[in-house]
Structure 1
Amino acid sequence: MSFYRILAIVSFISVLAGCASPPPTHPNNLCDIFRENHSWYEAAKAMHKRWGTPVQVPMAFIFQESRFHYDAEQPMKYFLGFIPIGRKSSAYGYAQAQDSTWADYKRATHRYGAERDDFADAIDFIGWYTNKTYIINGVSKWDAKDQYLNYHEGWGGYRRGTYKHKSWLLRVAKRVDERARRYGAQYRRCKKELDHGWLYRFLFS
């Protein structure tokens, strides 16, 4: 088999890996996450180029929302403690996007084939959402704490200050912000390496 055919097969497999990859082995280190799933890094860079949101912010969101599980769902509700009556919400996938918000994203971006269990689509969704948060509520795309509060409460809820009386949510938003800052510091140390791509890293690492 020729080198170019091998290269094409590896590239194809790399693209597929972004769709339904298992959770990363070291989710607390952004460099390790992207080393393990380089297609995720390419998707994160594409998101940043399109929406201007730094890669560490949506990655911190995804950790908080799904721990990087592509098929994450909300817990089931039960009647009388044992009869299932549906899930607490329609949130699904890496970004835990709800049906209605995901539909808005697809209409707004014309990405009608986007799926919530596809990592590239999920991180692009968060980029779109954070960009809208900046436009609607003036929150910096680098401000993971207030961006997350918008993400959780919605743009109207954030304006009304619904989060102010939710101490648990403020604690979660603070953790998201801390993780984003930690991810950002890690990313700055490995960005140059990651930007070389898989072939360079395979040959010279």
Structure 2
Amino acid sequence: MSAIFALLSLAVLSSCSTTISNTENSCAVLAQKNGIFENWSRDVKRASNQYGVPVSVLMATVYVESSYDSNARPPRKWYFGIFPGPRPSSALGFSQALDGTWDDYKRQTGNRGASRTDFGDSITFIAWYHYQSHVRNGIPLNDAYDLYLAYHSGQTGYARGAYKNRPVALNGAARAQKMARAYELQLRRCLN
């Protein structure tokens, strides 16, 4: 009996693991999380259908923001190499959404129980945010580059062109565009 409990516990814990390998292959990422407790294929398709943002663009945003790490946070500044300082922002999880933006999302969508460390919640948030960028700034839903710039700079920052002097935003947008193109080709083989 205890052996069965141990195997069941191991199965549950392994299905909740957030370590993803081969993050540059969308099919491999989705295959790693296609189980009873988590089904990322279902989650990305649902978010894509709900907001009209291609799965490849959603996954590329996660790739750039957190590399599929559910507990991702911005790095801390360390003092004297041993004392941790504050983090530069409240970004957390797959989506790296800030506290205020996440709270706005939960309030506007009624999804009060959403968690930034849950893939399904995070991918739906990203789809929602990209849709807001489309509505507010006229960005096409398949434009991974500009959607990422709006994601990184915020809706108002994007409209003002704040990203133009931010190499981190421009490099992130280029990476998102490149990964969205690669993911799109890969997803044709594995996502029905």
Q: TM-score by structure 2 length?
A: 0.86
Q: Structure 2 unaligned segments of length 5 or more: list them.
A: 1-7
Q: TM-score by structure 1 length?
A: 0.81
Aligned letter for 1:34? Answer: L
Alignment partner, residue 156 of structure 2: 156
The residue correspondences of 1:180-199 to structure 2 (distance < 5 A) are 180-192=180-192
The residue correspondences of 1:88-167 to structure 2 (distance < 5 A) are 88-167=88-167
Contact preservation (8 Å) 1:21, 1:70: no
Alignment partner, residue 66 of structure 2: 66
1:86-121 deviations in Å (ceiling 9; x for gaps): 211000001111100000000011010000000000
Alignment partner, residue 4 of structure 2: none
- Distance in 1, matches of 2:142 and 2:17, equals 27
Greater mean alpha carbon deviation, residues 179-188 or residues 169-178: 169-178
- Distance in 2, matches of 1:79 and 1:32, equals 39
Contact preservation (8 Å) 1:66, 1:72: yes
Greater mean alpha carbon deviation, residues 25-34 or residues 103-112: 25-34
1:34 offset after TM fit, Å? Answer: 1.2
Equivalent of 1:32 in 28, 31, 44: 28
Greater mean alpha carbon deviation, residues 80-89 or residues 101-110: 80-89
- Distance in 2, matches of 1:134 and 1:64, equals 20
- Distance in 2, matches of 1:68 and 1:29, equals 12
Greater mean alpha carbon deviation, residues 33-42 or residues 144-153: 33-42
1:81 offset after TM fit, Å? Answer: 5.8
Greater mean alpha carbon deviation, residues 107-116 or residues 82-91: 82-91
1:84 offset after TM fit, Å? Answer: 3.0
Contact preservation (8 Å) 1:60, 1:180: yes
Alignment partner, residue 41 of structure 1: 41
1:83 offset after TM fit, Å? Answer: 3.6
Do structure 1's residue 175 and structure 2's residue 175 form an aligned pair? yes
Partner SS for 1:68: coil
Q: Structure 1 unaligned segments of length 5 or more: list them.
A: 1-8, 193-205
- Distance in 2, matches of 1:21 and 1:141, equals 31
Aligned letter for 2:95? Answer: A
1:66 offset after TM fit, Å? Answer: 0.9
Aligned letter for 1:23? Answer: T
Partner SS for 1:146: helix
1:54 offset after TM fit, Å? Answer: 0.7
How many residue pairs were aligned? Answer: 179
Partner SS for 1:87: coil
Q: What is the percent sequence identity of the aligned residues?
A: 40
RMSD, aligned α-carbons: 2.1
1:75 offset after TM fit, Å? Answer: 1.3
1:82 offset after TM fit, Å? Answer: 4.5
